[in-house]
Structure 1
Amino acid sequence: MQSTLLRAYGEARLPRYTSYPTAPLFSPVVDETVYAGWLSALAPRDPVSLYLHIPYCRSMCWYCGCNTTISARDEPVANYLDVLHREIEMVASQIGRRQRVKYVHFGGGTPTIMKPAQFIGLVHLLRDAFDIVDDAELAIEIDPRTISREMLAAMRGSGINRASIGVQTFDPKVQQSINRIQSVECTSQTVAALRRIGINRINFDLIYGLPNQTVQSCIETVKTALTMKPDRLAVFGYAHVPDVKKHQRLIDVKTLPDSAERVEQTVAIADALVNAGYKQIGLDCFALPDDELGVAQASHRLRRNFQGYTSDDCEALIGFGASAIGKTKQGYVQNETAIGNYSTRVRDGRLATAKGYSLTSEDRGRAAIIERLMCDFEADLPGICSRYGLDHAALTGGNERLSRAIDEGLAQMDGNILRIENDHRYLVRVVAAAFDSYLDRSAQRHSKAV
């Protein structure tokens, strides 16, 4: 790995490319009426994925970049779930049938803040409104500090078969710096409880670049995590955006690792996981060799969406809840972000869509190139251009970002294939950005490249 290049690009602000175009390009031009038409146009036989956003937590983690709010009371959560039920019913009615579903993901916030009976009722509603196939993946994000035995039982009875646990770090000093105290014992007990009830597919989320974090503390966190044998680990770089997430102002900026230290941390984590037998999946995910992600990567079927890397091959993702993002063949939609505005729309009998983006043929072609680079670290540029009716020469000719990436050795042309060597995989977003025709409009709103 050429550390000079990593350090040179480390401060660049680039999208994570979980979509293209990215969310800052969404506008109110795509509204509830447009989305209603897109829902009605879903092909009857095409399966879809569902995402449900529960934007509540009991306490605020200072590093958090999610759309969430803090509530010590249960009443706001119950009121929100009432609205969520109405939205699900409206969307299903607009589709006009029980659309087949292969993937369901409960995110947040803390989805397990729901009462067990509330969660069971929500899953029952989903099964009534949609045709959730027998082998569907039902995943939920868990905060091990607050989950109860009763909620675990509700998860088991509702068919949950994958759990994602927020770990971030096991270093007590770093935990103190981000206001998230979570012991090793708490996490390991939750993992053991999940496996006892038959939920064996377990993900961990880790973060590097946190305040007071060091390379050694990252390695120690990995070593501790490995004792619990998660199937997958997602490793994200902390994005410090206090102008957007005001609670991040509680973090002392002087304690944040610089770009060079962030590079060392992410490389150390990756090396430790690969040496332990995990396959590196794309940019920031690691999985055991027999995991579905590894199989998808080996067969060039790996995808990337708003949950990160996935084997989900559904063309459409339907998002429910405040701030939830969805996608159809026609484009992207996002619900109202503020809980109050979201609730008002739904209670008035309207879809919660606040903004979105209608895809052009060029957008689809550029998106395909970016996704293949992010997933496979290579892309057949002429092949993709031909498939989407793009002019290959126009796409690459005069492309200064692409020329610079090739000149500096980040990427190379191997016949028709644009390829990123393993040494430069951490800078894949830099190469992908060469095909982002909107980047200059939104770069200031993105996270660091490494």
Structure 2
Amino acid sequence: MQTSSQLKRLGLFDARVPRYTSYPTAPHFKPGIGAELLPDWIRAIPENEAVSLYVHIPFCRRLCWFCACRTQGTATAEPVAAYLDSLKQELATIKGLLAPGIKIEHLHWGGGTPTLLQPDMITDLTHSILNAVPLADAAQFSVEIDPSEIDEARLDALAAAGMNRASIGVQDFDPMIQEVIGRPQSYEITKQAVDGLRARGINSLNMDILYGLPHQNTARIIDSVEKLISLGPDRVALFGYAHVPWVARRQTLIPTEALPSAEERLGLYYTARDLFLAAGYDEIGIDHFALPSDGLAKAHKAGTMKRNFQGYTEDVSKVMIGVGASSIARYPQGYAQNEPATSKYQAAARDGRLAGAKGHVFTDEDIARGRVIEELLCYFRVDFSKLADELSRPIEYFFTMVDGLELAMPGTTDLSGTVLSIRPEARPVARMIARHFDDYEMNESGHSQAV
């Protein structure tokens, strides 16, 4: 196994290494894509197609210091109500472009803090969504829940709306760490939210936890992981904290001197990982764990798991419609991202226009490289013969992509016949290996800029 110093050299702890929830990644999107092409892309969705729909709620009652998401604080309901009017207008515009019979297979509300919505807002938004695009039978409806921003009335409204999966961010249960990252959230209030969900028959639960936070050590992460496991989530995301104060200015409030070293960070990851495995979770890709009974674990075993803006998913829809400020949509033709500024987004919605601001039109090269990257991050292996058949490409085309990989990332992969696999000890640098196949991150000599 490589030493932690070697892993550090390869960029394991470099926050600039993409997570590859899309290809190309969002920083490579270009202006002039969204509003011009988006109506045609929506009209092109076939009749009776099953799609996914993502709704972005960019408001928070509190702005956590560790978070790099695009959000804005609010102390009142007025700006949220005005924003919901814009969401309803955007949904009405989308409805007018859709072919008959299209239904939602996966519906996700993210943010921000979707549970900041008042009960009547939750009901109103749900009606507007389903009026535009109805839910398919057995659809999955998930909502990101802040345990500090939920109560009985809002839980009742979400259950009545049809939510059947909840996602709760934990980050860390240690009070001192919570104070340093600006995220007070006790185990007791988190358990109260979990109990409230289960009392309403919502038993499908995802939880997120971070490693690499300031003042985190082995004892603290053991305590937090054991508390999280006691809540019985079906799946867990174990994310590495990305300290990017040049992107998220709130992170300047976090003391950099308190962040774990590269060696300590790697140890925290393996400590948490081993606890999840011992508790009976299956390891899924680079940062997820799921009980064998969970849909994600089943999709992983069946080879149907995908990777999108929500991370690993069993969602196989070809279309993800993004609604709300800064939301990103994926169509067979490419990506389109809405205006990130709430004011510009709302102005477009009021005018009956789609709010796309930038995006990317797929090339055949994008599709091929994106599939290689997705396979590597989902399964740590890619069968070029399979992709050659799938994409009608010669096998030599994929072998050319591998040129220079051993030089750039020595000892991390094996090529046996038509199968490229990442060695088990090198899986912590899977994103770095994937970056080698990223044509937008390569330098003129054809080698990854990351090394």
Match of 1:174 in 2: 177
Select the residue among 420, 429, 432 that pairs with 1:430: 432
Deviations 1:228-264 (A, max 9, x none): 1111111111111111111111111111112222111
Deviations 1:137-191 (A, max 9, x none): 0000000012011000001111100000110000111101101111110001111
Correspondence 1:45-84 to 2 at 5 A: 45-84=48-87
* Residues 174, 212 of structure 1: 8 Å contact kept: yes
SS in 2 for 1:102: strand
By how many angstroms is 1:98 displaced? 4.8
Deviations 1:399-420 (A, max 9, x none): 55522366x2211012210011
Select the residue among 187, 191, 194 that pairs with 1:191: 194
1:165 aligns with 2:180: no
Match of 1:281 in 2: 284
Match of 1:20 in 2: 23
Match of 1:151 in 2: 154
Select the residue among 414, 417, 429 that pairs with 1:415: 417
By how many angstroms is 1:46 displaced? 2.1
- What letter corresponds to residue 425 of structure 2 in structure 1? D
Partner Cα distance (1:353, 1:398) in 2: 33
Partner Cα distance (1:398, 1:88) in 2: 41
By how many angstroms is 1:128 displaced? 1.4
Partner Cα distance (1:392, 1:214) in 2: 47
Partner Cα distance (1:85, 1:404) in 2: 52
By how many angstroms is 1:127 displaced? 1.4
SS in 2 for 1:315: coil
Partner Cα distance (2:401, 2:120) in 1: 59
* Residues 7, 263 of structure 1: 8 Å contact kept: no
SS in 2 for 1:412: strand
1:7 aligns with 2:29: no
SS in 2 for 1:136: strand
Partner Cα distance (1:97, 1:253) in 2: 53
Correspondence 1:227-376 to 2 at 5 A: 227-376=230-379
- What letter corresponds to residue 410 of structure 1 in structure 2? T
SS in 1 for 2:147: coil
Match of 2:406 in 1: 403
By how many angstroms is 1:394 displaced? 4.7
Partner Cα distance (1:188, 1:150) in 2: 17
* Residues 281, 289 of structure 2: 8 Å contact kept: yes
Partner Cα distance (1:187, 1:97) in 2: 42
* Residues 401, 431 of structure 1: 8 Å contact kept: no
SS in 2 for 1:204: strand
Partner Cα distance (1:43, 1:182) in 2: 44
Partner Cα distance (2:401, 2:328) in 1: 34
Correspondence 1:111-126 to 2 at 5 A: 111-126=114-129
Match of 1:445 in 2: none
Identity %, equivalent residues: 41
By how many angstroms is 1:347 displaced? 1.0
By how many angstroms is 1:268 displaced? 1.0
Partner Cα distance (2:411, 2:426) in 1: 9
Match of 1:444 in 2: none
Partner Cα distance (1:362, 1:374) in 2: 18
Partner Cα distance (2:328, 2:389) in 1: 29
Across the aligned residues of Structure 1 and Structure 2, the Cα RMSD in angstroms comes to 1.7
Structure 1 gap ranges (5+): 442-447
SS in 1 for 2:30: coil
Structure 2 gap ranges (5+): 444-449
By how many angstroms is 1:338 displaced? 0.7
Partner Cα distance (2:110, 2:35) in 1: 23
- What letter corresponds to residue 396 of structure 2 in structure 1? A
SS in 1 for 2:149: coil
1:133 aligns with 2:141: no
1:39 aligns with 2:42: yes
* Residues 303, 375 of structure 1: 8 Å contact kept: yes
Partner Cα distance (1:303, 1:122) in 2: 28
Match of 1:104 in 2: 107
SS in 2 for 1:435: coil
* Residues 47, 99 of structure 2: 8 Å contact kept: no
Select the residue among 371, 375, 381 that pairs with 1:378: 381
* Residues 168, 207 of structure 1: 8 Å contact kept: yes
Deviations 1:301-341 (A, max 9, x none): 11000000000010000000000001010000100001011
Partner Cα distance (2:183, 2:228) in 1: 17
- What letter corresponds to residue 68 of structure 1 in structure 2? T
By how many angstroms is 1:59 displaced? 0.7
* Residues 323, 335 of structure 1: 8 Å contact kept: yes
- What letter corresponds to residue 348 of structure 1 in structure 2? D
* Residues 361, 389 of structure 1: 8 Å contact kept: no
Alignment length, in residue pairs?
442
* Residues 50, 136 of structure 2: 8 Å contact kept: no
By how many angstroms is 1:24 displaced? 0.8
By how many angstroms is 1:89 displaced? 0.8
Deviates more, 1:308-317 or 1:426-435: 426-435
By how many angstroms is 1:433 displaced? 1.1
* Residues 13, 262 of structure 2: 8 Å contact kept: yes
Deviates more, 1:364-373 or 1:93-102: 93-102
By how many angstroms is 1:126 displaced? 1.4
* Residues 98, 129 of structure 1: 8 Å contact kept: no
SS in 2 for 1:94: coil
